[in-house]
Amino acid sequence: MVFLKRQFPVILAFVFGMLLWLQYYVPSKASNSMLESFSSSWLITLAGCALILGVFSAVFHHVEKVKARRAGFGYSLITLVCFGITFTCGFILPLIGRIAPGSGIEPIPTQPDTPFDWIFNNVQVPLDSTVFSLLAFFVASAAFRAFRARSMEATVLLLAACIMMLGRVAFGEMIGTQTLNLSDAAEWILNNPSTGAQRGILFGIYLSQVALALRIIFGIEKTYLGGGS
Partner 1 sequence: MARECPAETEIYSGRQRSAAAAKCAFSRPRKTLRSFPALKLPLCLLLAALLLAPGLAKAHFLPPRSENIEAQKRAEERGIPVPTELEVFDRPNDDGSSVLLSFEVPTADEDTAVMAQASVDKVWQDCAEKPVLLSELPRHIDEPRYYSGEELSPEHAQQYSLTVDSVMLPGEDGALALQPLETGRTYSFRLMLYKNGGDPAAGRIAFLAGDAAPLEQWFNTAFLNQVLMALVFTMIMMGAIFAARQNPNLFIRRIAGLEAVDEAIGRATEMGRPVMQVNGLDPLTSASTVAAVNILGRIARRIASYDSTLMVPCVDPVVMTVSQETVKQAYAEAGRPDAYRSDSVFFVTDQQFSYVASVCGFMMRDRPAAIVYLGAFYAESLLLAETGAGTGAIQIAGTDSQHQLPFFVVSCDYTLIGEELYAASAYLSREPMLLGSLKGLDIAKAIVMLLILLGTIMATAGQDILTRWFTPL
DSSP SS3 for 176:
strand
CB-nearer residue toward partner 1: 37 or 103: 37
Choice from 14, 17, 31, 87 touching partner 1 (CB under 8 A):
31
The nearest distance, CB 80 to partner 1, in angstroms, is: 13
Q: Does residue 128 belong to the site contacting partner 1 (CB under 8 A)? A: yes
72 near partner 1, judged by CB under 8 A: yes
**126 near partner 1, judged by CB under 8 A:** no
* Angle, CA of 120, 70 and 128, to the nearest 5°: 20
d(CA 10, CA 229): 13
CA dihedral 22, 23, 24, 26 (to 10 degrees): 100
Which amino acid, one-letter code, is at 68? A
With CB under 8 A as the contact rule, which of the stretches 24-32, 84-92, 103-111, 162-170 interacts with partner 1?
A: 24-32
Q: Which residue stretch of 55-63, 92-100, 102-110, 174-182 sits at the interface with partner 1 (rule: CB under 8 A)?
A: 55-63
SS3 category, 181: strand
Q: What is the sign of the dihedral through the CA atoms of 180, 184, 185 and 191?
A: negative
Neighbours of 183 (CB within 10 A): 20
Q: How many residues bind partner 1 (CB under 8 A)?
A: 66
User: Where along the sequence are the contacts to partner 1 (CB under 8 A)?
Assistant: 21, 24-29, 31-32, 43, 46-47, 50-55, 57-58, 60-61, 64, 71-72, 75, 124, 127-128, 131-132, 134-135, 138-139, 141-143, 145-146, 198, 201-205, 207-216, 218, 220-221, 223-229
